[in-house]
Structure 1
Amino acid sequence: MAERAGGVRGAGPMRTVDVAGESGYSVQQVRDLERLGVIPPAARSANGYRSYTAFHVHALRAYRGLAAAAGPVEARRMLAGLRTGTLAGAAAAVGGVHVRLAREREEALRALAAVHAIRAEPGARGIDGDGDGAGAGDSDGDAMTITELAGALGVRTSALRFWEQEGLVLPERVTSLRARRYGPPAIAAARIVAALRSCGYGVPAVREVMGSLAGPGGLAEAERVLGLRLERITARTVALLHAGSDLAAVIAAAGDAAVGAS
């Protein structure tokens, strides 16, 4: 395949050590990634030595960006598809990663906005890590039943029970029949969980944010955790952008192969 993107020095057959130097991987990692199918098998010379091309370098660089953006397992699956699929399918697959990252960023921004709004409310002081015990002595008139809270949040009562089971929102049990009662701190926590879930956060990610509420920073710590999540999404996006020219080379190879087979 003719070289479609810049950055690979030299032309013709390349040794394993050359590919390692160009891709940023070690010699052993190049061999391991070849074994895993990240790159196609190298040609073998008469004496058994591996012989690579510039395409192998592009594929390895593309894998680095994809692995950072979508995870190594997904990156391996995608690269195999990019090499064997159609040009349109390959372009759509890469575009899909960009779309997922944009959606994750939007979800994190909405969740952060929800925490900002809840933090500004007086009723949030009990979970804001100020240590003043606000909410501990609230009157029963400030509490809500599980049915009332579910209605206020627009969720099912089964969702609140599930959140309790997962340790995300813990109600106060104050009646002789142990009916659930939620004071202002628990109500504020439930609102955060509802906001995170509506933004697409899974239970592990919600637990990470809610766990930060128990620390000294309270809601400020939750904001920090969400801010770190945004930074990670940005880093993954930048890694994918850096891999752009190498991904283009891999996708172009799929197009060349399709034309050659027709």
Structure 2
Amino acid sequence: MAAGASRAKTLRSVDLARAAGISTQQVRNYEEAGILPPADRTASGYRVFTSRHRAALLTYRALVKGYGTGPAQRMLHALHAGDIPAVLALVNESHAALHEQRRSLQAASEALTAVAERAPEEAAPSRSVLRIGELAHQLGLRPSALRVWESAGLLAPRREPVTGYRRFGPADIRDARLIALLRQSRYPLLQIRAVLDGLRQSGSTAELRAALARREEELTARTTAMLEGSGLLHAYLRDYGSDRPGPPGSPAREDRG
């Protein structure tokens, strides 16, 4: 290490691992993947970290919770390359995507409630029975999507006796519309099945409302995590954003804290 870097500020892999609650192997993996700045090595080959590496690690772990693994990795890679505009662009993209998910959830909530509370005959189009291609066209989907939902037990259309073609009646059409709307809001098939079971068995929209509430809680939790991650990212940019580490083994800059 350079003379300017105080010994008190040097850290080992185990120190970073304890700070983040991960294994020392994960710390090494993060450094090799470029998520952490390159670490200097001792004469015997051990990695020597600083508070900058600790800040990068904690920032990355917080970013993953809110932004996801892929965006968080790209942010740290861009940051260590000195491309601050790219870092900020990634932040903006993630926030815009979250905003669209909230808008989609609100629209889905309004549409789902309206569709679920109407009788199947009212929710169906003018033709009371549709074939798979016709229904897929109305929903803006491929017929294969309807086949997947049928295989998952979400739809059970009748079959024409001679041809075996699927025939979607009013209840099937309503259910397909509900599934399509829920899938747009990224609901897993198992949750959708619980919603449909409630509608079919009792006509209740309670499970539907519960599913929407869970999704709202998920988005709120993600928003909170993004705020935490962006706060650490801002601190990292403030303290280290102007520094670009050299290749491994190069003289270390004086650490800032």
Normalising by structure 2, we get a TM-score of: 0.70
- Listed one character per residue, the Cα deviations across residues 211-256 of structure 1 (whole Å, up to 9, x for unaligned) are 2235457653344334323322222222221122321244343444
Residues 1:20 and 2:5 are matched in the alignment: no
Corresponding residue for residue 44 of structure 1: 41
Within a 5 Å distance, the mapping from 1:116-155 to structure 2 comes to 116-123=113-120, 143-146=128-131, 150=135, 154-155=138-139
Alpha-carbon shift at residue 169 of structure 1 (Å): 4.0
For structure 1, list consecutive stretches of 5 or more residues without a partner in the other structure. 1-9, 125-140
Structure 1 distance, partners of 2:119, 2:189, is 23
Show the counterpart of 1:136: none
Q: For 1:114, give the aligned amino acid.
A: A
The alignment status of 1:244 with 2:226, answered yes or no, reads: no
Cα 1:177–1:25 shift into 2, 3 Å: closer
Alignment partners' CA distance in 1, 2:161 and 2:178: 26
Alignment match of 1:164 (pick from 146, 153, 160): 146
2:37 aligns to what SS in structure 1? coil
Q: Which residue does 1:181 correspond to in 2?
A: 167
Is 2:9–2:50's contact at 8 Å kept on the other side of the alignment? Answer: yes
Give the letter for the 1:146 counterpart.
R
For 1:242 and 1:76, the matched residues in 2 are separated by 16
Deviation for aligned residue 1:161: 2.7
> Where does structure 2 lack aligned partners over 5 or more consecutive residues?
1-6, 246-257
Is 1:91–1:251's contact at 8 Å kept on the other side of the alignment? no
1:138 alignment partner in structure 2: none
The whole-number CA distance in structure 2 between the counterparts of 1:77 and 1:87 is 11
Q: Which amino acid aligns with 2:30?
A: L
Q: Cα gap change, 1:117/1:251 in structure 2, threshold over 3 Å: closer, same or farther?
A: same
Question: Compared with structure 1, are the counterparts of its residues 180 and 53 closer, same or farther at alpha carbon in structure 2 (3 Å cutoff)?
Answer: same
Contact in 2 for aligned 1:90/1:251 (Cα 8 Å): no
**Do 1:143 and 1:183's aligned partners in 2 also have CA atoms closer than 8 Å?**
yes
1:71 aligns with 2:56: no
Whether the 8 Å contact between 1:38 and 1:80 is mirrored in structure 2 is: yes
Mapped contact 1:164–1:171 kept (Cα < 8 A): no
CA distance in 2, matches of 1:242, 1:11: 28
Task: Look up the match of 2:28.
Answer: 31
Cα distance per residue 1:12-47 (max 9 Å; x no partner) = 323334333443434443233223332123222345
- SS at the partner of 1:145? coil
Structure 1 Cα separation of the partners of residues 85 and 185 of structure 2: 29
| Aligned residue among 195, 206, 220 for 1:220 | 206
Determine if the alignment matches structure 1 residue 231 to structure 2 residue 228: no
CA–CA distance in 1 between the matches of 2:133 and 2:244?
62
Corresponding residue SS for 2:11:
coil
Give the deviation of 1:99 after TM superposition.
1.7
Instruction: Classify 1:31/1:206 alpha carbon distance in 2 versus 1 (closer, same or farther; 3 Å).
Output: closer
**CA distance in structure 1 between the partners assigned to 2:168 and 2:142 by the alignment:** 11
Instruction: Tell me, yes or no, if the aligned pair for 1:115 and 1:192 is still in contact at 8 Å.
Output: yes
Tell me, in whole angstroms, the C-alpha distance in 1 between the residues paired with 2:34 and 2:232: 17
Cα distance in 2 between the residues matched to 1:39 and 1:223 = 43
Contact kept? 2:135, 2:173, Cα under 8 Å: no
Question: What displacement does 1:154 show?
Answer: 3.8
Matched letter for residue 191 of structure 1: R
8 Å CA contact 1:145–1:182 kept in 2: the answer is yes
Could you tell me how far 1:103 is from its partner in structure 2?
1.9
- Which structure is richer in relative contact order (CA contacts within 8 A, separation 6 or more)? 2
> Contact 1:45/1:51 (CA < 8 Å) preserved in 2?
yes
Q: Is the 8 A contact 2:84 2:241 kept in 1?
A: yes
Preserved contact between residue 13 and residue 52 of structure 1 (Cα < 8 Å):
yes
**How many residues align structurally?**
228
Q: What SS class does the counterpart of residue 230 from structure 1 fall into? A: helix
- Amino acid corresponding to residue 195 of structure 2 in structure 1: L
